[in-house]
Amino acid sequence: MINLGEYNSLAVLRRMEQGFYLGDDSGESVLLPNRYIPEDASIGDTLSVFIYNDSEDRIIATTLHPKITLNKFACLKVVIVTDHGAFMDWGLAKDIFVPFREQVKKMEEGDTYIVCLYLDEATNRLAASSKVNKFLKNETIEVKEKEEVELLIAEITDIGINVIINDRYKGILYQDEIFQTLNYGERVKGYIKKIREDNKIDVSLQKSGYEN
């Protein structure tokens, strides 16, 4: 099965005028346009490609690397706002769409926002949402206290900074434990300090206790 919004390892099946057709064991195939074909690629090779919707909403492959993949988070810049929503630069030819209903507040052109890439099952199109909390899953936590994790710096509050842990969980970094400059949308290394009974997670930028 070819998965939208993700990297897929696909075999080169045949060459056509518009590019290579790539496929997997399920019998599905997708076009890799000529401009994305590696110079040394040939029939039978296996290529790692990202699958997305092009400007005509066709499912297509690319060897470019987007700034965000399915169910992951990234800080992206708004390039234009239309009557239907905003479009953000995610590193591909077609900007990613953020519907108004998926915006915490109306986005402004030129500003940056943390968003999650999701698949709209009604249209089978990729889109982004700045309502990130609904994509964070603190109900089942698979990290442990003192574990090293990746933190995405998000909302600044009176008591600290809300962070996204490993692109899966919501956590908080308390103000009195921050000893360096942190920027919105920055990724830094951190540690799980405490997992509370209500599944809220406290994090730290330093190892705890003797290890620190």
Is beta strand 169-174 parallel, antiparallel or unpaired with respect to 201-204? parallel
Which pair of structure tokens corresponds to residue 126? 């990729």
Which pair of structure tokens corresponds to residue 3? 């998965």
Distance of alpha carbon 72 from alpha carbon 69, whole angstroms: 6
Long-range contacts of 85-88 (CB under 8 A, 24+ apart): 88/113, 88/115, 88/128
- Asked whether 149 and 143 are in contact (CB, 8 A), the reply is yes
Report CA-CA distances (Å) from 201 to 95, 146, 165, 181, 183: 34, 12, 9, 21, 20
Range list of H helices, the chain: none
Name residues whose C-beta falls within 8 Å of residue 164's C-beta, 6 or more positions apart in sequence. Answer: 73, 114, 132, 136, 151, 152, 154, 170, 171
- Residue 143 has what pLDDT? 95
Which pair of structure tokens corresponds to residue 45? 């090779």
Identify the residue whose tokens are 């982004």: 128
pLDDT string in tens for the chain (212-residue length): 899 999 999 999 999 999 999 998 888 999 999 999 999 999 999 999 999 998 888 999 999 999 999 999 999 999 999 999 999 999 998 999 999 999 999 999 999 999 999 999 889 999 999 999 999 999 999 999 999 999 999 998 889 999 999 999 999 999 988 888 899 999 999 999 999 999 999 999 998 754 55
Q: Which has the closest alpha carbon to 205: 144, 169, 142, 161?
A: 161
- Residue 79 has what pLDDT? 98
